[in-house]
């Protein structure tokens, strides 16, 4: 009974002083830091590729860890109707040290590099039997053997599908036509404005000439020497 009272008293003091809140915040931060430092394996943004039968294909894979690696183990496996078949495996002692990769498939080549945190492989002379899911797996003892994996899907075809550009061509044609029409309208508008401006200037010249002739005739009617008719402007 006394132990229970002490326990309740302790919990009461913790709740009253805010220690429980502080502890939860610390735990949350520690979990966040651990997740941020966790090992991560990636096969890129696109998790599949379509290749022709008889060609070669790169199966990409990279790893990352904020706290570094030590004796990082990795392998590639192929999902053969539910049975995982190991293709290759190796251990990377530390950063910048290239691994000694064991290959279990005659048409597979390791093309990765620990300097780039790259553990990609190349598959030669692809056949239809190679189609399926390939898993890139890694485990980092430095993170208490934390592991992670990513799946890359290979699709094998007789020939690559042609991309239908009909819609793109139609859209580009329509846009080009609209732009051309706008340009023609602007040119016509500019020509019309230019013609109107010329007509207005000609009308102004006619009015000025006509006004000058009227002033000469009205102001000098009694003088024969200065009654010469001014040339008329025909408008």
Whether residue 192 is contained in a domain is answered as no
Q: How far apart are CA 142 and CA 71, in angstroms?
A: 8
Confidence category of residue 90, pLDDT binned at 50, 70, 90: very high
Confidence category of residue 211, pLDDT binned at 50, 70, 90: low
User: Which value, to the nearest 10 degrees, does the dihedral of the CA atoms of residues 87, 92, 93, 97 take?
Assistant: 130
Confidence category of residue 12, pLDDT binned at 50, 70, 90: low
pLDDT in tens, 46-71: 999 999 999 999 999 999 999 999 99
| CB of 127 closer than 8 Å to CB of 156 | yes
**pLDDT surpasses 90 at 223:** no
**pLDDT surpasses 70 at 41:** yes
Whether residue 226 is contained in a domain is answered as no
Per-residue CA distances from 80 to 20, 130, 135, 218, 222 (Å): 51, 9, 11, 115, 123
CB atoms near residue 114 (< 10 Å): 19
Higher local confidence (pLDDT), 55 or 163? 55
Whether residue 165 is contained in a domain is answered as no
Residue 115 carries which DSSP code? G
Whether residue 129 is contained in a domain is answered as yes
Q: What pLDDT was estimated at residue 210?
A: 63
Whether residue 97 is contained in a domain is answered as yes
Q: How far apart are CA 45 and CA 42, in angstroms?
A: 8
Task: Please name which of 136, 150, 161 lies closest in space to residue 52, comparing C-alpha atoms.
Answer: 161
pLDDT in tens, 99-154: 999 999 999 999 999 999 999 999 999 999 999 999 999 999 999 999 999 999 99
Confidence category of residue 15, pLDDT binned at 50, 70, 90: very low
Q: How far apart are CA 163 and CA 99, in angstroms?
A: 41
Whether residue 146 is contained in a domain is answered as yes
Mean pLDDT of the chain: 80
Q: What pLDDT was estimated at residue 32?
A: 44
Task: Please name which of 213, 218, 205, 214 lies closest in space to residue 230, comparing C-alpha atoms.
Answer: 213
CATH code (residue 61): 2.60.40.10
Number of domains observed in the structure of the chain: 1
What residues make up the domain containing 56?
A: 40-157
Q: What pLDDT was estimated at residue 181?
A: 85
Q: How far apart are CA 83 and CA 149, in angstroms?
A: 17
**pLDDT surpasses 90 at 38:** no
Whether residue 224 is contained in a domain is answered as no
Confidence category of residue 23, pLDDT binned at 50, 70, 90: very low
pLDDT in tens, 181-201: 889 998 998 888 888 887 887
Whether residue 88 is contained in a domain is answered as yes
Q: What pLDDT was estimated at residue 112?
A: 97
Q: How far apart are CA 130 and CA 53, in angstroms?
A: 10
Q: What pLDDT was estimated at residue 166?
A: 74
């Amino acid at each position: 009974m006394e132990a229970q009272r002490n326990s309740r008293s302790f919990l009461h003091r913790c709740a009253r002083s805010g220690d429980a809140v502080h502890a939860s915040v610390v735990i949350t931060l520690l979990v966040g830091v651990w997740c941020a430092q966790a090992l991560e394996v990636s096969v890129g943004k696109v998790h599949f590729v379509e290749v022709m039968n008889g060609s070669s294909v790169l199966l990409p894979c990279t790893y990352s860890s904020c706290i570094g690696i030590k004796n990082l183990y990795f392998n590639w496996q192929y999902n053969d109707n539910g049975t995982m078949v190991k293709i290759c495996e190796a251990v990377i002692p530390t950063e910048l040290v290239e691994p000694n990769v064991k290959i279990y498939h005659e048409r597979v080549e390791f093309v990765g590099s620990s300097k780039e945190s790259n553990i990609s492989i190349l598959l030669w002379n692809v056949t239809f039997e190679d189609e399926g899911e390939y898993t890139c797996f890694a485990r980092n003892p430095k993170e208490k053997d934390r592991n992670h994996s990513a799946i890359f899907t290979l699709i094998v075809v007789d020939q690559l599908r042609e991309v239908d550009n009909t819609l793109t061509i139609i859209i580009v044609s329509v846009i080009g036509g609209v732009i051309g029409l706008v340009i023609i309208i602007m040119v016509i508008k500019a020509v019309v404005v230019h013609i109107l401006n010329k007509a207005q200037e000609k009308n102004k010249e006619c009015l000025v000439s006509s006004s000058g002739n009227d002033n000469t005739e009205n102001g000098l009617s009694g003088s024969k020497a200065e009654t010469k008719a001014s040339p008329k402007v025909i408008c």
